[in-house]
Amino acid sequence: MASVNRFNHIGFEDFRRFAQDESMSNYERIGFPDSYRQGYEAAIHEDICRKLTNLRAADRKVVDIGPGCSDLPKMLISLCGSRSHSLTLIDSQEMLNLLDDAPWVEKVGAMYPRCRDWIAHNAGKVDVILCYSVLHYIFVDVGFFDFLDSSLSLLAPGGQMLIGDIPNVSKRKRFFASATGVRFHKDYMKTDEAPVVEFNTIEPDQIDDAVVMALIQRARSQGYDAYVLPQAPDLPLSNRREDILITRP
């Protein structure tokens, strides 16, 4: 019989606490060990810009849902400044306080999509939505399809949304059940043991292929194009994470 494993999840309120913890590095405050992000964020930013092509234009409306406080949102703030984009950052006020203010930056202290007035006011006006490494928290904390539907409602014609860095447990299993994944695990963990990969088991609060495909299908059935995209191979988690790109025709 399948066993039910509850994972210890961190969520929005934990991040609010991390943001105020001066003993943590900025990577730890956003839930990553330093080794997963240090030295990689320029490559992550480049991968994001390759997919969100509207960022290359000028004078667009950009939104970052869950920017956190590492160098990644700082790179986006700087890019938006140089392209005359407006940028809205939506996260806990405590997290947003760790990012510099700028004339082109608006900060909305809220657990998205529980900023209904802001969403209603900006419906159909947004050219770029970035939501990077946040979906797994949204999946647990808030209505999942509410998140998707609210985001779709924001997109202007030609608008793009990147739901990036999705830890898809099905992709992770495919990798760790492969010879390449076994080799990677042994090298990384400095062990002779193969990784344990369990199929046909109930995994509460985990994103799997069914969730990824449901997002794609729901976006498409509501009139948007949607695609699963790989991450560039030089990204630290590219062997077990992937991205979704949604565009409004």
- The residues binding ligand SAM (CB under 6 A) are 12, 15, 30-31, 65-68, 70, 72, 90-92, 95, 111-112, 132-134, 137-138, 141-142
Q: How far is the CB of 195 from ligand SAM (least distance, A)?
A: 23
Q: How far is the CB of 249 from ligand SAM (least distance, A)?
A: 27
* Closer Cβ to ligand SAM, 54 or 92, answer by number: 92
* Closer Cβ to ligand SAM, 37 or 248, answer by number: 37
* Closer Cβ to ligand SAM, 68 or 236, answer by number: 68
Q: How far is the CB of 170 from ligand SAM (least distance, A)?
A: 20
Q: How far is the CB of 110 from ligand SAM (least distance, A)?
A: 7
Q: How far is the CB of 37 from ligand SAM (least distance, A)?
A: 7
Q: How far is the CB of 161 from ligand SAM (least distance, A)?
A: 14
Burial track 134-155 (b if 16+ CB lie within 10 A, e otherwise): bbbbbbbbbebeebbebbbebb
Backbone φ and ψ for 209, nearest 5 degrees, come out as: -55, -35
Q: How far is the CB of 38 from ligand SAM (least distance, A)?
A: 12
* Closer Cβ to ligand SAM, 55 or 95, answer by number: 95
* Closer Cβ to ligand SAM, 36 or 158, answer by number: 36
* Closer Cβ to ligand SAM, 68 or 181, answer by number: 68
* Closer Cβ to ligand SAM, 129 or 138, answer by number: 138
Largest CA distance in the chain: 57
CA dihedral 77, 162, 111, 235 (to 10 degrees): -70
